Amino acid sequence: MPALKTPLIAPSILSADFARMGEEVEAVVRDGADWLHLDVMDGHFVPNMTFGPGMIAALRKHTDKPFDVHLMIEPADAFIDAFAKAGADHIHVHIEENPHVHRTLQHIRSLGKKAGIAICPGTPPEALSYILDLVDIILVMTVNPGFGGQKFLESQVPKIRTLRQMADATGRDIRIGVDGGIDVHTARQATEAGADMMVAGTSIYGQPDYAKAISALRDAGRTG
Ligand SMILES: O=C(CO)[C@H](O)[C@H](O)COP(=O)(O)O
């Protein structure tokens, strides 16, 4: 029998209690999170604002788990070094954000960080064709970025499948994450299409028992 594939789980602190963020991070780490997903929003690239490198540096003291930092900011280039210094392990920029994203990805890697590329629902997968050699993680947005608690866009499932084929064709180990509306009902569609990492805000931090929520998501997303 083929081995089951288990997706990584990255709770999004966007849905956590901002007044108790250190405790909220420790709680999901204790309860089984693989990575922490940190959404940085600027009120310009997306119509919402969150936090900057200062918050990430403060949270760094609460866990050694990888910090998966999703920059929904424009321009991002001027801030990459600050997020790296603050303790980001993976830095995602948006393909839509900047015509020189190839250079941005090179820069992220030159800092010793994993380079992530995030892609909005309206952007075709082929937009990533000429940068995949520089990408460690693809973050497929399954909602329009900016807010937690939105409904999973099923229209993105074929895109996940196409990106999985494109990623595998490189012969490199590229992770594909999904972000937005991921819960026990939608997880399987994403992982069957090729996602191997799931970001989840509401379906973890919106639940009374984080350990149960994380393990239910992981089970729901298991394939093979
Ligand atoms: O990037 C994001 C929003 O732009 C969030 O990570 C995402 O929406 C997670 O929230 P939820 O799981 O509640 O949909």
CATH assignment at residue 117: 3.20.20.70
Residue 154 in tokens: 């099923």
Which atom of ligand 1 is nearest to 144's Cα? 4
Peptide bond into 125 cis (omega under 30): no
Kindly compute the dihedral angle of the four CA atoms of residues 151, 75, 16, 82, in this order, to the nearest 10 degrees.
Answer: 150
Mean pLDDT of the chain: 97
Catalytic (active site) residue 34: no
pLDDT tens track for 61-70: 999 999 999 9
Which atom of ligand 1 is nearest to 12's Cα? 6
Q: Which residues contact 53 (CB under 8 A, 6 or more apart)?
A: 79, 82, 83, 85, 86
Catalytic (active site) residue 42: no
- Ligand 1, CB within 6 Å, residue ranges: 12, 14-15, 37, 39, 70, 143, 145-150, 179-182, 199-203
Query: Which three-class secondary structure state does DSSP give residue 203?
Result: helix
Task: Choose, from 42, 68, 136, 179, the residue flagged as catalytic.
Answer: 179
Q: How confident is the model at residue 164 (pLDDT cuts 50, 70, 90)?
A: very high
Distance of CA 181 to the CA centre of its chain: 12
Q: Report yes or no on 2 lying in a domain.
A: no
Q: Output the pTM of the full model.
A: 0.98
pLDDT tens track for 78-101: 999 999 999 999 999 999 998 999
Q: Report yes or no on 1 lying in a domain.
A: no
Q: Is 196 annotated as a binding residue?
A: no
Q: 151 — phi, psi (to 5°)?
A: -85, 135
Q: Report yes or no on 150 lying in a domain.
A: yes
pLDDT tens track for 3-25: 779 999 999 999 999 999 999 99
**Contact in structure between 71 and 81 (CB atoms under 8 Å):** no
Q: Report the C-alpha gap between 118 and 59 in whole angstroms.
A: 23
Percentage of the chain modeled with pLDDT above 90: 97
Query: Of the residues 9, 50, 150, 156, which should be mutated to test ligand 1's pocket, given the most ligand atoms within 8 Å of the CB?
Result: 150
Which structural domain, as residue segments, surrounds residue 111? 8-221
List beta partners, residue 118.
94, 139
Q: Which residues contact 173 (CB under 8 A, 6 or more apart)?
A: none
Task: Choose, from 34, 39, 136, 183, the residue flagged as catalytic.
Answer: 39
Which atom of ligand 1 is nearest to 182's Cα? 12
Per-residue pLDDT at 1? 59
**Contact in structure between 90 and 68 (CB atoms under 8 Å):** yes
Q: Report yes or no on 73 lying in a domain.
A: yes
Q: 112 — phi, psi (to 5°)?
A: 80, 20
Q: Report the C-alpha gap between 115 and 108 in whole angstroms.
A: 6
Q: Report the C-alpha gap between 199 and 189 in whole angstroms.
A: 14
Overall number of domains in the chain: 1
Instruction: Please tell me the distance between residue 1's alpha carbon and the centre of ligand 1 in angstroms.
Output: 35
Strands 197-200 and 137-141: unpaired
Q: Is 129 annotated as a binding residue?
A: no
Cα distances from 146 to residues 16, 50, 141, 150, in angstroms, run: 15, 10, 10, 10
Q: 221 — phi, psi (to 5°)?
A: -95, 0
Q: Is 42 annotated as a binding residue?
A: no
Which atom of ligand 1 is nearest to 143's Cα? 8
On the question of pLDDT at 224 being above 80, the answer is yes
Q: Is 147 annotated as a binding residue?
A: yes
Per-residue pLDDT at 2? 60
Nearest C-alpha neighbor of 88 from the set 118, 67, 106, 62: 67
Which residue do the tokens 């070094």 mark?
Answer: 81
Instruction: Please tell me the distance between residue 69's alpha carbon and the centre of ligand 1 in angstroms.
Output: 13
